[in-house]
Structure 1
Amino acid sequence: MPPLTFAAAFSVSLIGAVIQAVCGFGYGPVNMSLLPYLFPYAQAVALSGLCGSTTAVFVAASSFRYIRWKTVLPCALTALVFAALSVQLSAGAADGFMVRSLGAALVALGVYSIFFSGRLRIRPTPRNGTIAGALAGALSGLFSVGGPPMALYLLAATDSNDEYRASLNAHFCFTACITTFMRWRNGAFTAATIRAYGLVLVSLLLGAWIGGKIFRRLDPKRLRLLVYGYLIASGLLMLFK
């Protein structure tokens, strides 16, 4: 990996890990705003998914006692099915089409986070959990950005910030199993992907540690506003690439 490519991948991975540790999600969207410019699309999605799941394991393990298993498991099981189908669907898609589709998804995620994340509330029912899991699984499989649907649901289904963050990352651990397996089966995990993952692994550890330190000191809403404003701009650039 060229030094400049490594520096860019390391930096965005570090930022994504910090954001996920603070906000509960965000690694995938932040990284997928840059990685498609550094790697072929399939490799970028595979790398982002693998790194994001590693960060989720770190966060979930550090707050294991707060996980609401009865809430997470039905959503995760639904997400597994839709994630597997979405990975298979995206395997043969053209890079240009997927990059523009990702741009549209990033714009939508940014608009949602800035204008609606504090206003929309859904009832924590099994049916709504199933719908959220299906949407999260589809977005995870297609673009490695499955956080917002589950974040919206778990904000209503949990009783504290700790439960929300821990449960959300536990959900990511489940979906990561199937998306990683399906991408490996479809050939996305090349030797270059594994090397890139090994090189940025330190950034995941460092980012999760930093994010954990500032979790209780930084207002997540303000951080999301900055991050998703950036994602809207990045998504618009991808749409017209």
Structure 2
Amino acid sequence: MIWLLIIFPALIAGLVQGLTGFGAVIIMMIFFPSILPMDKAAGIGGIIMLSSVLALTIRYRHEFKWKRVLIPFIIYASVATWSVHLSSVLDTHVLRLMLGGLLVSLSLYFILSKSAGSAKYPWYIAGCFMIISGFFNGLFGIGGPLMALYFLSLSSSMPDYIGNIQGFFLIDAFYITGIRIAGGILTAPDIPYIIVGMIAAAVGTIIATRLSTRWDLTTLKPFIYGFIGLSGLYYLFF
């Protein structure tokens, strides 16, 4: 039963990551906390995501732009470094409710407003996205939804969007995993779960890349906004 709760979520996570550009850890965190402590579940999910993110980054490597990714990553990672150790101090239930409410509100706004998402965000809005995403990435391993909105606002095509957001998450995955290993959150006994999960996630990503070649960014945006809303509902009710 434990292995099923690793393999199935990782497979679906790889599929979701390949189609929307984010969300792998969200899917895994629905299941993993039932068999693992919260901080370890987030850490294992983050490493499992590496297989999907690496494959997508390589596939869309020609679209990756360092200038677009570097500053957001510095802000995001600085906050995540601080928040990664807070899960034992803060009331994470209240924080999940706050995040859920924010994501549902943003999802509804972007789905209902025809003009939303068609322009770049002001620097202070973009900065808030980076800070909030980094904070929740450190706590739960989940920083994707708001960063997806940020990179969507700058992208002109599906490859442009996927190439930059996956490059961002690849750098983040190596960095935050190093922090978790140094802090003793991830240890050697976790390796079998990680290897099996990475294989399952890679299979899901292969399926997703075959499907995504048929879609453009305009077609994909409603799915991304909808998944952000579903993520928010999960945090509100579970």
TM interval, shorter chain, is: 0.7 to 0.9
Structure 1: unaligned runs, 5 residues or longer: none
**Seq. identity, %:** 22
Q: CA deviation at 1:212?
A: 0.7
Structure 2 residue aligned with 1:146: 143
Structure 2: unaligned runs, 5 residues or longer: none
Structure 1 residue aligned with 2:133: 136
The 5 A counterparts of 1:5-16 are: 5-16=2-13
Structure 1 residue aligned with 2:99: 105
Q: Find the aligned partners of 2:100 and 2:27 in 1 and give their Cα distance.
A: 9
Q: CA deviation at 1:101?
A: 3.7
Letter in 1 for 2:40: Q
TM-score normalised per structure 2? 0.84
Letter in 2 for 1:198: I
Structure 1 residue aligned with 2:213: 216
CA separation of 1:237/1:123 partners in 2, compared to 1, >3 Å: closer, same or farther? closer
Deviates more, 1:123-132 or 1:29-38: 123-132
Residue 83 of structure 2 aligns to a residue in which SS?
helix
Residue deviations 1:79-99, cap 9 Å, x none? 121111111333x347xx435
CA separation of 1:18/1:47 partners in 2, compared to 1, >3 Å: closer, same or farther? same
**Aligned counterpart for 2:83 among listed residues 83, 86, 92:** 86
Q: CA RMSD in A?
A: 2.6
Q: Is the 8 A contact 1:154 1:168 kept in 2?
A: yes
Q: Is the 8 A contact 1:110 1:228 kept in 2?
A: yes
Structure 1 residue aligned with 2:181: 184
Residue 184 of structure 2 aligns to a residue in which SS?
coil
Q: Is the 8 A contact 2:106 2:229 kept in 1?
A: no
User: Does residue 74 of structure 2 align to residue 74 of structure 1?
Assistant: no
Letter in 1 for 2:21: G
Q: Find the aligned partners of 1:7 and 1:99 in 2 and give their Cα distance.
A: 26
Residue 191 of structure 2 aligns to a residue in which SS?
helix
Q: Find the aligned partners of 1:155 and 1:190 in 2 and give their Cα distance.
A: 35
CA separation of 1:125/1:101 partners in 2, compared to 1, >3 Å: closer, same or farther? closer
Deviates more, 1:122-131 or 1:170-179: 122-131
Q: Find the aligned partners of 1:167 and 1:204 in 2 and give their Cα distance.
A: 20
TM-score normalised per structure 1? 0.83
Q: Find the aligned partners of 1:20 and 1:45 in 2 and give their Cα distance.
A: 16
Structure 2 residue aligned with 1:43: 40
CA separation of 1:156/1:224 partners in 2, compared to 1, >3 Å: closer, same or farther? closer
Q: Find the aligned partners of 1:103 and 1:12 in 2 and give their Cα distance.
A: 23
Q: Is the 8 A contact 1:86 1:138 kept in 2?
A: yes
